[in-house]
A and B are shown apart, each in its own frame.
Chain A
Amino acid sequence: MSHTFLLEVGLEEIPAHVVTPSVQQLKERVAAFLKEQRLEFEKIATFSTPRRLAIKITGVADKQKDVEEEAKGPAKKIAVGKDGNWSKAAIGFSRGQGMQPDDIFFKELKGTEYAYVKKFIAGKTAAEILTGIKDAVTSMIFPTMMRWGNNDFKYVRPIRWLVALLDEQIVPFSILNVQTDRVTQGHRFWGTQIELKNAADYPQALLAQHVIADATERKKMIEQQIKKLAQQNHWKIVVDPSLLEEVNNLVEFPTVFAGNFAEKYLDIPDEVLITSMKDHQRFFYVLDQADKLLPHFVSVRNGDGEHLEKVIAGNEKVLTARLEDAAFFYHEDQQKTIADYVDRLKKVMFHDKIGTVYEKMQRVQSLSKLLAASLDEENKLTEAEERALDRAAEIYKFDLVTGMVGEFSELQGVMGEKYALLMGESPAVATAIREHYLPNSSNGELPESKVGALLAIADKIDSIGAFFAAGIIPTGSNDPYALRRQALGIVRIARTRNWAFSAVSLQKMIEQNYQNAPELYSNIKPTKNAAEAVSFIVERLKKLLGEHEFSFDIIETVSGVETNSFVKMSQSAKILKKHQADADFKENIEALTRVLRLAKKASSDKLERVEPSLFENQAEKDLFEAVSQIEGKDSSLEQLYAALSSLRPLIDNYFDETMVMVDDERVRANRLTQLLSIASLTREFGALDKLNVK
């Protein structure tokens, strides 16, 4: 017969974001425990609310599986005495296993016979085993752990009750002074404590106590109620999945309700209203059919529909107070000018070891000019864009010292754009101010405007350069200033826009900027840790390529030349991957890497250019002409790959006919120079000798 086991850990309110991962963790620990204990079961179901983590296991076996195992003892010649009787060793062995010598049998192992006994271990009952589940509960790990009362034990929040039932029987164990029982708690205000007769009664028995223990079901209830409300009112209610998840873990019994705020607050920018509702009050916001924000909000009460009007009135009052504050800041902030704010940034530190935000803006202003100037013809900025970039870079952090961003820090950039427009800046400047923060997550959207994209790169590369120069370098998971995310942002923007920036060229521009205006780098010297900064950025491209399923050796190859642009590295990876399956790929690459290996030997003994008068055979002439043709053409990377591949017979022939490292210094230097010119062409693809062609 199979059984049902219920374990419920009753807690003071668990942080909402911890509930779901915790019950999953409990499930995994319990499953591992049962496996280790050889206790079979069919299924583990999870239940969770802010006050409880529970699992119900169905199809639990009566007892552990019995085990029969062989235990190996001494060799036969030791186990059996000369007289044919059991030796002391054999008697000792069998006794040690809880058996008699007559239980011994012999089996061969690697040519020698040994004494063995068969041991039978009877499985313990499920009830016995399950008391050990305590360890699965106490060994749980949470993001924040606490102590309470007189205890040293740490947990997510204080444990207040424990239910452990195997069918109708309590499985006895205790944690601190809490003893397992059949008593569970209903809703704090809408239920009472109840006795569970049987594990199978869970979670239905809690329904009458206003607890929906099944988190998925609870979430569905919320979604359905929201949908109904939206239909009744012809609203669009925006249900952000992470907000829904959080709200779901703040309630044990959900009742969705709507409230209103005064229409006059709709003058405040939508982003401010939405932040107030969503982030501060955990409300859902409401749109009309044309996606215009409406003066309503939707929230979820932890309880029934009774006295809902009081709850609505209270929530409306709180939101109104917040919006009143926001309206105040929105009005007050507009009484000052951008120049006032920029001036105040002289007193705001970007980082103690680096300098003020004002200095940063000044660095970025001149740096962004260098970046723009380095763009090739087809990407060049128009004059209007140049002016917008210059102005945006001059002021782009001004909103940090506005009252609104002081109160709603998550609106940095967003308010910058709004205020810039209100204060007479051009749309291009305003947009760039908002967009310079993008991308704000590893897959986040990129700046749409060219000016915004350039400002974003300038701001990010300045931060990376400055932190590295100040010796503040990310290690392991420790990256408090999100420099990895910023480096990835640079790479993504450059790739998407087909801008030919490389990690080295960006670093060079920082150093150029430093030379032009050393006073902007009062606390740091950007040449310090420069190589580390370059590799740090290239590392992000490598990670990105890895996510696109390029093989390790291709990634190492293309990133092996740090002066190549991110765009070129990416193209090279694609081309190499594409040709990897070609029949002649191996030979072509081997021919080229042979050149690379020899070319490395050329240190000082090389010539200005290859000197045909020093050639001694036809193979040299042929290779020279072919290489010169490639060098003379402005070809795409794909064409270059084809051209370099076509060199293979010439290279093979060259090495058959030509000894490179000859005694004659001039001839040797000439040949090495020839090889170097090929090597230099291959460097467009990276370090080809890192390709795995075995």
Chain B
Amino acid sequence: MKSHEEILEILKTKFGEAIIGMMEDTKNDPTIIVDSTKILEVMQFLYDDENLSFDSLMNLSGVDDANGEKVKDEAENEIIKGGTLSVYYHLYSMRIKHKITIRTSVPRENPELESVENIWKTADWHEREAYDMYGIIFKNHPNLIRILMPYDWEAGYPLRKDYKNPEYYKGMKVPY
């Protein structure tokens, strides 16, 4: 069983610059921040390594950090430009019984990162949900389509902070 400091040390010696840091506040589980371009290698290592052996992805979720600049578009709607969207991975090792949270951030204008579906099959639907709700694109995902919203939903990604609900969907009025 490894503490989060030990896990951070192991990752830092293996990946160096790709491990950006650790978020430690009392409210959340300790979270290691990873460069999004290296996420697949880091996750594969966390799964494979003898001393870490994270065999279970408990949860994967998207987050809109809303840390960009708030501007008005042509239609006077407030939208967010720049900033990041994040993906959180909650990992647990059934064998060693330790856990860690991994965070990675992608730019809002181009939210792309590698899928971890090859490592944990759990990620399949979780990544589809993050795609559905936040528009985060997981490269090499086998079936990246909407999972909750209708397949032909064109109004955008509902859990983004600057999302605007449409007036109509297929002739049905949406607002109350």
A and B assemble together: no
List residues of A whose CB falls within 8 A of some B CB. Answer: none
B positions within 8 Å CB-CB of A:
none
